[in-house]
Structure 1
Amino acid sequence: MELPTVTDLDGLAALFGREGGEDLYVRWSHGPEADIADSERAESSRDALTGAALPGLSANSLRTEPWWCGRSTRLWLARRLYDYEHLRDLRGPGVRPWVLRGREIARGPDNEPLVVDVEPLAWVADAVLHEARRLVDEQQSAEWGPLDRRVHTR
């Protein structure tokens, strides 16, 4: 599928602002065409633990929350990418993030939004991921990191 590519955080923030942000999500996969072709019905994901079919595509919301109170949109978007960047490695070669508009229909087993009525908007370039990582690292929070459940600390 021919989609434009967002090449930096400013571009992602501009897309977010232009599209309103409320119903925008990022999904880590082989892309919209693969998601539809791989599912038994369009716009469906599977629970990785049980294999159960889910009623929509698992994605992560880009919507800012009211408590964010006008802080940097770039930092918000950076942390949303940073949180789930591990999915690219976990899901294998060719997996990359893409931005979509969708309607949340349910929540998945990790409390992630499951979306339908998907409209693909843009790919997210690796340069954006590197920029996001740098911006998050600059915050120097010892209590914050990616949501990678493969990392075990005991």
Structure 2
Amino acid sequence: MSAVSEVRIEAGMRVVEDLDQLVALLREAAPDEALYVRWSRGPRADLTDERQARQASHDALTGIELPGLSANPLAVEPWWGGRPLRLWVARRLYDYCHLRALRGPGVRPWVLVGEQIGRGPDNEPLVICHRPLAWVTDAALRQAHDAVESQASQEWGPLHRAD
């Protein structure tokens, strides 16, 4: 039995309670499935019937509606080489961890299968969600934080402008 199949289900989606489960989810994805992490109140908020036809995010600076959901790709870039997949996934989570505090209660990371349709003003992928896949728990986020912090880089941190 795989690590992914052992995770619990919440609101119809798997729950990734451990960073290694997220790594397993990425490894087990079909070759034609692009996985993304999105920080929001979840698919119920992002994919309501009204917005289903036009999944959208908003630019915080101008308020303009963006044609797609802002998300962070989980796909490993070729230049990563043989480095640990666990650290790659940890970094993908850590990069936007500030969004929970910035956007308020109920905001948390979730994984989706999607298709990139453009880029936003911060060069972030804008995607259409084909299928919500999994919630990511605080325990997995703590593991991601610990994995990144263990690199002891003085020049690197979350992608938060206010810091």
- What TM-score, normalized by structure 2, do the two folds share? 0.87
Match of 1:66 in 2: 78
Match of 2:102 in 1: 90
Given the alignment, which residue of 120, 124, 135 partners 1:108? 120
Unmatched segments (≥5 aa) in structure 2: 1-10
Match of 2:68 in 1: 56
Given the alignment, which residue of 34, 38, 41 partners 1:23? 34
* Structure 1 residue 128 corresponds to structure 2 residue 140: yes
Alpha-carbon spacing, 1:48–1:79, altered in 2? closer, same or farther (3 Å): same
Alpha-carbon spacing, 1:73–1:20, altered in 2? closer, same or farther (3 Å): farther
Q: Name the Cα RMSD after superposition.
A: 1.6
Give % identity. 60
**Structure having the larger proportion of residues in strand:** 2
Shift of 1:118: 2.6
Q: Distance in 2 between matches of 1:123 and 1:144?
A: 26
Unmatched segments (≥5 aa) in structure 1: none
Match of 1:2 in 2: 12
* Structure 1 residue 139 corresponds to structure 2 residue 151: yes
- SS of residue matched to 1:74: helix
Shift of 1:68: 0.3
- SS of residue matched to 2:26: helix
- What TM-score, normalized by structure 1, do the two folds share? 0.92
Q: Distance in 1 between matches of 2:60 and 2:75?
A: 25
Shift of 1:39: 4.1
1:56-89 CA-to-partner distances (Å, cap 9, x unmatched) read 1110111111110021110000011111000011
Match of 1:78 in 2: 90
The aligned amino acid for 2:61 is L
CA contact (8 A) 1:43 1:118 kept: no
Q: Distance in 1 between matches of 2:52 and 2:62?
A: 16
CA contact (8 A) 1:62 1:80 kept: yes
Q: Distance in 2 between matches of 1:117 and 1:30?
A: 14
